[in-house]
Amino acid sequence: MGELFRRIQYLLNRRQLDRELENDMQFHREMAAAAGRSNFGNTLRMREQAREAWGWTWLDRLIQDLHYAVRILARSPGFTFIAVLVLAIGIGVNVAAFTVFDAVALKPLPVRDPGSLVRLERRSPTAYTDGAPYTSLLFYQKNAKTLSAVMGVMGVPPMQVDQDIEHANASFVTANYFTELGTPAALGRLFDPTREGDPNTAPSVVISYGFWQRRFGGDTSAVGRTVHIDGKPATILGVLPYAFASLGGQGPDIWLPILQQPYFVAGSHTLTDPGDSAIRLWGRLAPGVSAKTSAQELRALTNELRRQHPNDIWDNEYISISPGGHMQVMQPEQYEVVAMVAVLTLLILAVACANLGGLMLARAVTREREIGIRVAIGANRARIFRQLCTESLLLAMLGAVAGLGLGCTVIQIALTQLDAPNKWASAVPDWRVLLFTVAVMFAAAVFFGFMPALQIARQRQHKTIARQILVGAQVAASCVLLIVAGLLVRATQHALYTDPGFGYQRMLSIDPYLGHHGYSPAAAQAFFDQMQARLRATPGVLSVSLVKLPPLGHEVDRETTEIAGHKVFVYPNWVEPGFFQTMNIPILLGRTFYPREKNAVIVSRSFARQQWPNQNPLGQRLGDDAATKSTVVGVVGDAHINALSDSDATEQYWSAQLDDLPDMVLLARTASATDSLPPIAKSISENLDPKIFPEIRSLKLLYHDNVSGIEKAAMAVSFIGIVAVMVAGIGIIGLVAFTVSQRTKEIAIRIALGAKRAQVLAAVLRQFTWPVAIGLVSGAGFAAAASRILRRALYGISNFDPAGYALAIVVLLAIIGLAALLPARRALRLDLAKTLHYE
Amino acid sequence: MPMSDTPKPVTPSGALVLLILRVLQSGSLHGYAIAQRIHILSSEVLAVEEGLLYPTLQKMLVKGWVTAEWGISETNRKVRCYCITPEGRRQLEAELSDYDRVTQAIQEVLRTA
């Protein structure tokens, strides 16, 4: 330590110390001269040697090299600008992607002690659910010694506030939720375990900052007011802060105490039913307790719980504990997407680097004389190599700074444009992002600087192989990006311009959530019968029916079966006989169900085709055991009502039974626009049962929301792909122009001797043919392998969609061709006499 | 000053450090005096060259074995004098015992081989 300290002192006082050293030597020489000796060496050199002992020579050299590099770069501002721009794009895209990942998965939430927050999920070797029953929450809360607190959140269907047409998103939370997170109230107070922990406290609600602004115009007198939530009066206790960080990144408008859930949702048994896994659990580890210890204790507690409720706790069930102090608790499937995005963004960096490497090599030829002189006056290869690397590093630094700025700007724009619910997220880079940027900077410097520097230091810049490798790499990487972009664009088009197989234009889904209100099947039947009859009587309503899993709904059920060795996703649904007519789904073969028909199934066309190729599907059997064994009574058109993005989806419809009724949803198709129907439906429902506040949604809006999300993603990827291709194009233009300028004389001689123009062009461009071909093939292969992951995002498009691939390759070839021909044309317009007389 | 015909240059690395530390043990000296002292004490066999002395001194400064302070030379000139530090003394002891061990070993070989 002391030595390092002294070294740094020497660095700081180097001028003075150098003078002192000079003085020492001067004195030495004087004395030696007086003694009659005069064989001194080169004093400057000796002083340098002495200084080397301080251990800062590398720094001197680095500074020297940096000075030199700054001069070199300043002398060719055009090159520097292009290089920094290309790098800024390459690095900026990566910084932006990492910033998002950081915010979602790495950055601790701005809450009290985020490190000890954990997410608790029910798992067994064969099952998983993100919810747990309230009775389990109470049990763990009471008995777990390794957890200092257990918090629960229950998302519920949107609720009506007073008479608002648009319902507010709502969550029930345990009373300790806000105190455990250490959230201060922006106004009023938040839930307090000593008060809202008692079910008999006056009903209350906490509202989000955004809701307070939107609905109350930021009026401070909103606190203390009484509002009616689904018709039940409740007092507004307080307002959450603007930048409130919730667990799991949820952002509902209104928060209600979970103990008052039976009051707000009349007839519900959620708090007492040990089979109702509706509550997401979070915990806080007790001080000094590790997640592992806690997991052991919870496993023992779960075993005890199983003894109490043998039907509701799975065999081998345990509670998995994962770090909960981030915006999102990452699941393994999500890492797949992260890896995919990372590969794409790194490819852009690779294109940028390969590009810059080519430019550096080309520039080296023009710098031949300079480097030649430096070698001639005694610089060795290592020194020149180091100098070139310093230059690359300086470029990379400039690029990284610009890229950081670019990435953060993009994120800032995205944050304001998308109006993200997590207001605490910011585009200002934290230390992780900065560290990442530095790492990317070094990686980039190595990628684009190392090989050219090596070639140049060995004075081999005329060798074409390095250039060919760089061109090949660029083409391959751009090819992958373009293909992925092409596939996404095609997928969007498909989603936008093809019929999804069901009518969504003038369709409403009306969900009364009867089950949540404790309706019995018979009561539900009575309710729906009345409601359907009255809706049918409403002018403009063409058709009404019931379905269990409504199109584009909150819930999706998916099963996987294997047909002839390949995996097929089956989306089951339970419907009333009139469903197909209401939804405009054509019945292709057979008939629809009879009411409450048992052991009958209707399948979609794709399913029938895959399961029974070239056979009549009618009369075929599905299911193995007696209870589910069913006969196919009809085949209907494909309608991916809950899997717009899954082209492989197939559907199976079962006739809804009496027991399904409390969970059913009404569908209504109207003759003209649906605008006038919601208030009517609402009043009908209120008339039938004032407890019920149906959620009414327009399928058209849902459909467009769904599609626009994919559209945005496709646009972003296409944009990135086009940027990558542009960057590659610039690089190829540069390389070909350089090749032409290098071979001017040869070309002139060929033309003078009577070569045809096409032959000349071919001769110039031949060296790029193979790299481009190899690049295209390997790029397409890689894209095919990688896009398997994308498959689920591709709306109705196979990941081997030939049109997507062909389009990408054609565009890429066109750009490469253009980039090659533009500068190559110069070769054909040479002034022969002048060129040949030169030299 | 009598000059021997072939003053041998001190071999670099360890030996010079050892000699410098040893001559500084009895008091601080400036660079030239260090060279002189070694030259004279070695009966004019060893010569310390300027080009080796100063880099070595710099290295010892950085290591913290010696410190430098301003003094006045016998010719009345401002010059830096080097003096040994406690750390330098420890280093000297270590190097001395090392040296003893190595010379003994060499002696052993020479005697018995």
- Binned at pLDDT 50, 70 and 90, residue A463 comes out as low
User: Is pLDDT at A793 greater than 60 in this prediction?
Assistant: no
Find the residue in A nearest to B64 (Cα). A3
The reply to whether B47 touches chain A by the CB within 8 Å rule is no
The pLDDT assigned to A359 comes to 80
Q: Give me the mean pLDDT over the A392-409 stretch.
A: 93
Q: Tell whether B86 lies on the interface with A, counting CB pairs under 8 A.
A: no
pLDDT band at B14 (very low <50, low <70, confident <90, very high): low
Range A599-627 average pLDDT: 83
What pLDDT sits at residue A333? 61
The phi and psi torsions of A73 (rounded to 5 degrees) equal -70, -35
At which residue do the structure tokens 């996404």 appear? Answer: A488
- The better pLDDT of the pair A177, A374 is held by A177
Whether residue B50 and residue A46 make contact (CB cut-off 8 A), yes or no, is: yes
- State the Cα–Cα distance between residues A59 and A70, nearest whole angstrom: 16
Q: Which residue of B has its CA nearest to A52?
A: B55
Nearest chain A residue to B36 by CA: give it.
A32
Domain layout of chain A by residue ranges? 2-55, 58-107+331-462, 114-326, 466-506+699-839, 507-698
Taking all residues of chain A, what is their mean pLDDT, rounded to a whole number?
A: 83
CA distances from A125 to A309, A314, A656 (A): 19, 10, 31
pLDDT classification of B1: cutoffs 50, 70, 90: very low
Token representation of residue A194: 């000593």
pLDDT at A543: 92
Q: For residues A582 and A585, give the distance between their C-alpha atoms in angstroms, rounded to a whole number.
A: 8
* Interface size between A and B, measured as CB pairs under 8 A: 76
Residue-wise pLDDT tens digits, A745-782: 777 788 888 888 778 778 777 877 888 888 888 888 88
Amino acid symbol at A481:
L
Note whether B75 contacts A: Cβ–Cβ < 8 A.
Answer: yes
Band of residue A531 on the pLDDT scale cut at 50, 70, 90: very high
Contact A491, A710 (CB under 8 A): yes
CB contact under 8 A, B80 and A54: no
pLDDT in tens, A643-694: 776 667 788 999 999 888 998 999 999 888 777 888 888 889 888 988 888 8
Confidence grade of residue B3 (pLDDT, cut at 50, 70, 90): very low
Is the CB of residue B99 less than 8 Å away from at least one CB of chain A?
no
A635 phi and psi angles, rounded to 5 deg: -125, 130
Answer yes or no: is pLDDT of B35 > 80.
Answer: yes
Give the distance from residue A62's alpha carbon to the nearest chain B alpha carbon, in angstroms. Answer: 21
Q: Give, in order, the Cα–Cα distances in Å from A456 to each of A71, A260, A278.
A: 19, 75, 66
B77–A30: do the CB atoms touch at under 8 Å?
A: yes
Largest CA distance in chain B: 55
Mark yes or no for CB contact B50/A3 under 8 Å.
no
Cα–Cα distances (Å) from A218 to A188, A212, A214, A221, A226, in that order, read: 13, 6, 7, 9, 16
Closest CA to A251 of A170, A332, A189: A170
How far apart are the CA of B61 and the nearest CA of chain A, in angstroms?
Answer: 8
Q: How far is CA A234 from CA A212, A223, A224, A511, in A?
A: 15, 11, 9, 24
Q: For residues A592 and A673, is the Cβ–Cβ distance under 8 A?
A: no
AA identity, residue A728: A
pLDDT at A455 > cutoff 70: yes
Q: What pLDDT sits at residue A413?
A: 85
Share of chain A above pLDDT 70, in %: 91
Q: Do A31 and B75 touch (CB under 8 A)?
A: yes
Per-residue confidence (pLDDT) for residue B2, from 0 to 100: 44
Work out the average pLDDT over A73-84: 86
pLDDT (tens digit per residue) in A250-266:
788 999 999 999 899 88
Instruction: Chain A: give the shortest CA distance to residue B103, in Å.
Output: 28
pLDDT value of residue A830: 67
Say yes or no to pLDDT of A223 above 60: yes
ipTM: 0.79
- Residue B63, chain A, CB below 8 Å: the answer is yes
Q: What's the pLDDT tens digit per position in A303-325?
A: 998 888 888 888 888 888 888 88
Say yes or no to pLDDT of A619 above 80: yes
Domains of chain B, earliest start first = 8-112 (1.10.10.10)
Strands (E) across A552-686 are located at 559-563, 566-575, 587-590, 600-604, 621-622, 630-636, 650-655, 665-670
Which span out of A25-29, A58-62, A188-192 was modeled with the highest average pLDDT? Answer: A188-192
Q: Which of the 8 DSSP states describes residue A236?
A: E
**Residue A375 to chain B, least CA–CA distance (Å):** 28
User: What pLDDT, in 10s, does the model give residues A580-608?
Assistant: 999 999 999 999 999 888 888 999 998 88
User: pLDDT tens across A329-364, in order?
Assistant: 776 666 767 777 788 788 888 888 888 888 887 777
**Predicted pLDDT of residue A801:** 72
pLDDT score of A462 more than 70: no
Q: A20: nearest CA in chain B?
A: B80
A2 vs B contacts (CB less than 8 Å): 64
Both tokens of A384, joined, read 């020149």
> How far apart are alpha carbons A736 and A821 in whole angstroms?
8
Chain A residue nearest residue B34, CA to CA: A28
Confidence of residue A173 (pLDDT cuts 50, 70, 90): very high
Token pair listed for A712: 């945005």
HEC letters along B15-61: HHHHHHHHHHCCCCEEHHHHHHHHHHHCCCCEECCHHHHHHHHHHHH
CB A191 within 8 A of CB A179: yes
Give me the pLDDT at residue A405, please: 94
Is pLDDT above 60 for A216? yes
Residue A14 touches partner B, C-beta closer than 8 Å: no
Write out chain B residues lying below 8 Å of A50, CB-based. 54-55, 57-58
Q: Which are the contacts of A254, defined by CB distance < 8 A and separation ≥ 6?
A: A159, A161, A168, A169, A170, A171, A205, A206, A207, A208, A211, A229
Position A807 pLDDT exceeds 90:
no
Q: Does A48 touch chain B (CB under 8 A)?
A: no
At A584, the amino acid letter reads N
pLDDT digits (tens, 9 = 90+) for B40-87: 888 888 888 777 888 888 888 888 888 888 888 778 888 888 989 998
Q: Pick from A8, A14, A21 the residue to mutate for testing the B interface (most B CBs within 10 Å).
A: A21
As a dihedral over the C-alpha atoms of residue A319, residue A322, residue A326, residue A331, rounded to 10 degrees, the angle is -90
Is the CB of B35 less than 8 angstroms away from the CB of A28?
Answer: yes
Between CA A260 and CA A145 the distance in angstroms is 27
* Closest residue, chain A, to B32 (C-alpha): A28
Alpha carbon dihedral A418, A421, A423, A429, in 10-degree steps, equals -60
Q: Would you say residue A72 has pLDDT above 60?
A: yes
Q: Is the dihedral of CA A589, A595, A600, A606 positive or negative?
A: positive
CA distance A119 to A224: 33
Q: By mean pLDDT, which of A201-205, A635-639, B57-61 is the weakest?
A: B57-61
A365: how many CB neighbours lie within 10 A of its CB? 14
Residue whose pair of structure tokens reads 């750390």 in the numeric block: B87
Give just the sign of the alpha carbon dihedral A383, A386, A391, A392. Answer: positive
Q: What is the DSSP letter of A577?
A: T
Q: What are phi and psi of A251, to 5 degrees?
A: -140, 60
Cross-chain Cβ contact B58/A3 below 8 Å: no
Q: Which chain B residues contact residue A3 at CB under 8 A?
A: 62-64
pLDDT digits (tens, 9 = 90+) for A364-374: 777 777 888 88
**Cβ A6–B79 below 8 Å, yes or no?**
no
CA distance to A172, A208, A665, A686, per residue, from A223 (Å): 19, 12, 36, 28
pLDDT at A792 over 70: no
Q: Residue A435's pLDDT band (boundaries 50, 70, 90)?
A: very high
Q: Which residue has the higher pLDDT, A324 or A526?
A: A526
Lowest mean per-residue pLDDT among A46-50, A396-400, A510-514: A46-50
A385 has a chain B CB within 8 A of its CB: no
The full DSSP string for A30-63 is: HHHHHTT------HHHHHHHHHHTTT-HHHHHHH
Closest in A7, A24, A31 to B80, CB measured:
A24
The conformation of residue A284, written as its DSSP 8-state character, comes to E
Which of A92-101, A715-724, A725-734 holds the top average pLDDT? A92-101
Question: Among A578, A502, A569, A503, which Cα is nearest to A535's?
Answer: A578
Considering the entire predicted model, what is its pTM? 0.71
